[in-house]
Amino acid sequence: MNGKPVAVITGASRGIGRSVAVALAGEGYDIAAIARSVDSEGMEILGPEVEKKGAQFFPIGLDVACAKCHGEVVSDILERYGRIDFLVNNAGVAPLQKNDLLEMTEESYDRVLNINLKGPIFLAQKIAREMIWMKDQISPYRPVIVFITSVSAVLSSVNRAEYCVSKAGLSMASTIFADRLSKEGILVCEVRPGIIKTDMTLKVKDKYNKMINEGFVPQSRWGLPDDIGKAVASVARGDWDFSTGMVFEISGGLNIHKL
């Protein structure tokens, strides 16, 4: 069995996922990095970044929406390391086209919900079962599950309703998993990013630049993937071990309700 703790990160090849993987490698975790393709440029860049931190890097190709594929992937990780200590459910997509709510298609809804909500829920279910078993096999053992959601869980965008619904659902999933797994000694929390500079937001950077310049974000800047990585690293260090079910909003103050 591997002596070091092991972190599994979905959507690890770029953006928030990549920063989280590097941050957890820096906290002493070996990294099982999940992306749709192990051959992507992002995964090729991530590997050396993780190894530079002294961590092992295990790239895994998986469409997270394929719930029936999760078992094989989890088995592969356990065969290699003998343990899973930390799951970061980060993988997510935006709609391929931004349509008004009244024009939203069933195909777009199904695609976004399958990747952003169904996949993370069933992957968390699978790994939580393994974590419960591993509690009696590994000492010390601090199992953690983190759901990366979005301020879109609580802020309406009528031209990407399926994305908002998926993130709202994922936020509730985090709460339910925290409730169910608290008695199992598994910490569960939600990290809720605001406007983060990633490939997903690049397409609408002019819109967000204008909003930020006009004061929409109280701290007056874009969020960076490293801001999220630092938050997850804080959870990994044990800084929040008495805070299961917590929502950590990393949004530059979008959570402030002003009159």
The answer to whether position 160 is within a domain reads yes
What is the value of pTM for the model shown?
0.96
HEC sequence for the chain: CCCCCEEEEECCCCHHHHHHHHHHHHCCCEEEEEECCCCCHHHHHHHHHHHHCCCCEEEEECCCCCHHHHHHHHHHHHHHHCCCCEEEECCCCCCCCCCCHHHCCHHHHHHHHHHHHHHHHHHHHHHHHHHHHHCCCCCCCCCEEEEECCHHHCCCCCCCHHHHHHHHHHHHHHHHHHHHHHHHCCEEEEEEECCECCHHHHCCHHHHHHHHHCCCCCCCCCECHHHHHHHHHHHHCCCCCCCCCCEEEECCCCCCCCC
Q: What is the pLDDT of residues 154-169, one digit of tens each?
A: 999 999 999 999 999 9
pLDDT band of residue 70 (cuts 50, 70, 90) is: very high
Q: Judge whether 194 lies within some domain.
A: yes
Q: State the Cα–Cα distance between residues 54 and 29, nearest whole angstrom.
A: 9
The percent of residues above 90 in pLDDT, for the chain, comes to 95
pLDDT of residue 1: 65
Which conformational region is residue 6 in: left (phi greater than 0), alpha (psi within -120 to 50 degrees), or beta? Answer: beta
User: pLDDT of 71-109, one tens digit each?
Assistant: 999 999 999 999 999 999 999 999 999 999 999 999 999
pLDDT at residue 204, as a whole number: 87
CATH number at residue 140: 3.40.50.720
With respect to residue 127, please indicate whether it lies within any of the assigned structural domains.
Answer: yes
214 found inside a domain: no
Looking at residue 74, its pLDDT comes to 98
Mean pLDDT score of the chain, rounded to an integer? Answer: 96
Which of the four pLDDT bands, split at 50, 70 and 90, describes residue 208?
A: very high
User: How many domains does one find in the chain?
Assistant: 1
Q: Is 211 contained in some domain?
A: no
At residue 150, the pLDDT reads: 98
Domain-located, residue 203 = no
Residue 3 pLDDT? 85
| Bond before 140 cis per omega within 30 degrees | yes
Whether 229 has a pLDDT exceeding 80, the answer reads: yes
* pLDDT tens profile 120-166: 999 999 999 999 999 999 999 999 999 999 999 999 999 999 999 99
Residues above pLDDT 70, as percent of the chain: 100
Q: Would residue 95 count as lying in a domain?
A: yes
In contact, 83 and 138? CB cutoff 8 Å: yes
**pLDDT at position 55 over 70:** yes
Range of the domain at 75: 6-198+224-250
pLDDT band at residue 23, thresholds of 50, 70 and 90? Answer: very high
User: Facing residues of 48 across strands?
Assistant: none
Residue 204 placed within a domain: no
